[in-house]
Amino acid sequence: MNSFVLLPVTITNDYTLMTRQVRKQSAVGSSRELAPSEIQFADSTDYLLGGLLTLKNGRIDKYQFDEGYCKAAKVSNTSQDNFTFYYYNRDHLGNVRQVAKATRSKNGTIVQTMDYYPFGARLCDGTTDSNVQSRRYNGKEFDQMHGLNAYDYGARQYNPVLARWDRVDPLCEKYYSISPYVYCTNNPVNAIDPDGRIVYLRYRGENGKIVQFAFDPQNQQNIPNNSFVRDFVSAYNYNIENGGGENMFNAANDPNREYFVADANIYNPEKRGTAYDPQYGERIIKWESRKGLRFDGDKRQSPATRLEHEFDHAVDDARNGNAHRLRRREPAGPFVNKEEQRVIEGTESKTARANGEDIRRHHHGSVYDVKSSTSTEENWKFIRSLLNFVNGALQAQ
Ligand SMILES: [Zn+2]
């Protein structure tokens, strides 16, 4: 019996053989920035900023950010574009399960829902338009152009029906026992790649797997090119250079104790959020590296300051176990408990002051999206000003 797979042999990395008019070259493997003179103003889709910014016919169509994207709603030559913001609801693997359109009321409108088989094929279409946007399994773009039907993971393409990669793992020499075409060591529901040292960063890697990186403050040259890792390293250096962050400094320089900083986004939605959450004998800090804290009207703290707050809990737990747990049970008015009071009045205030941010006198606040892990600036304001700037430059051409 013969079985074979038809491979799309005419496809090259930049898709130039497939189509004359639609360019996708910077969205895949060999990406490069387009020069302004290369932007086409008719029948074209161009990708800039590493594929995050999509231009259609020379005008902004869409901008992708971590939590979703925004789309230019009104395109005319005379007016500014209106940008509508859409947000993803993801599961623990980063799969986009819902897309919600931001509205002026507090509740968004669901515009797309998606379910998947374990290896990423669509289980069934939701009740809403499944063609709204193409970020799906593991948050990756599903490329349906000319029937390709593959997820774009950057270095490789993945076919969820075959459940295999279209080419070998670049690191396959390290794992002789595993086929270089196998996806997620055949464990797509939950896969962890453990490593080993002092402060471990746990996040979702290139191919959707959960990976760990041992952060060594003395060796910051060889860090993975991952946004969560970069957010952590900038927050660490920012706090310490400004004169705060003493607990994260102690944790990173204590060879006898292990700490884990996990990207809060790898957890289920209801278990996300920045918090010290020890479990299974591990001192785990869940951190939302792009969420600031707002309290008392419009007072603010950056993700970096919030991270130091959680490190204070973790270091205290490691050193004073029982006393730490007792303090958590002792009520303390607006601070909720004595442990929160100790942290908020102690290192949280010290680090916030060092970073030029606001001080709390209680344990309340709400979170919001910020521009970077060391900033208190709102992300949507930043994105909107960036896009208006780009549009201005395009119209000036
Ligand atoms: Zn706390």
- The predicted-structure confidence for 56-69, as pLDDT tens digits, reads as follows 877 888 888 778 89
- Rounded to the nearest whole angstrom, what is the distance from the C-alpha of residue 368 to the centroid of ligand 1? 17
- Rounded to the nearest whole angstrom, what is the distance from the C-alpha of residue 343 to the centroid of ligand 1? 7
Number of H helices, E strands in the chain: 6, 21
204 SS3 class: strand
- Rounded to the nearest whole angstrom, what is the distance from the C-alpha of residue 261 to the centroid of ligand 1? 15
pLDDT at 36: 66
pLDDT at 25: 40
- Rounded to the nearest whole angstrom, what is the distance from the C-alpha of residue 305 to the centroid of ligand 1? 12
CB 336 within 8 A of CB 360: no
Alpha-carbon distance of 301 to 315, in angstroms, equals: 21
- Rounded to the nearest whole angstrom, what is the distance from the C-alpha of residue 247 to the centroid of ligand 1? 13
Q: Which of 69-73, 196-200, 355-359 has the lowest mean pLDDT?
A: 196-200
Q: How far is CA 269 from the centre of its chain?
A: 14
Given a cut of 90, is residue 82 above it in pLDDT? no
Alpha-carbon distance of 233 to 72, in angstroms, equals: 33
Q: Which two tokens stand for residue 91?
A: 């599961």
CA distances in angstroms from 13 to 18, 47, 346, 394, listed in the order given: 10, 14, 54, 27
- Rounded to the nearest whole angstrom, what is the distance from the C-alpha of residue 121 to the centroid of ligand 1? 40
pLDDT exceeding 90 applies to what percent of the chain? 32
- Rounded to the nearest whole angstrom, what is the distance from the C-alpha of residue 211 to the centroid of ligand 1? 26
The whole-model pTM stands at 0.54
pLDDT at 358: 97
Given a cut of 80, is residue 52 above it in pLDDT? no
- Rounded to the nearest whole angstrom, what is the distance from the C-alpha of residue 263 to the centroid of ligand 1? 17
Closest by CA to 134, choosing from 119, 123, 156, 150, is: 150
pLDDT at 21: 29
pLDDT mean over 208-228: 86
- Rounded to the nearest whole angstrom, what is the distance from the C-alpha of residue 309 to the centroid of ligand 1? 6
- Which of 12-26, 42-56, 167-181, 333-347 has the highest average model confidence (pLDDT)? 333-347
Q: Which two tokens stand for residue 101?
A: 């359109």
- Rounded to the nearest whole angstrom, what is the distance from the C-alpha of residue 381 to the centroid of ligand 1? 28
- Rounded to the nearest whole angstrom, what is the distance from the C-alpha of residue 334 to the centroid of ligand 1? 13
The 10 Å CB-count burial string (b at 16+, else e) for 29-62 is beeeeeeeeebbeeeebbbbeebebbbbeebbbb
Q: Between 357 and 217, whose confidence is greater?
A: 357
- Rounded to the nearest whole angstrom, what is the distance from the C-alpha of residue 241 to the centroid of ligand 1? 23
- Rounded to the nearest whole angstrom, what is the distance from the C-alpha of residue 348 to the centroid of ligand 1? 9
Phi then psi for 80, rounded to 5 degrees?
-70, 150
79 SS3 class: coil
| DSSP secondary structure string for all residues of 130-178 | TTS--B-GGG-EEE-GGG--EEE-SSSEEETTTTEESS--TTGGG-TTS
Alpha-carbon distance of 44 to 242, in angstroms, equals: 47
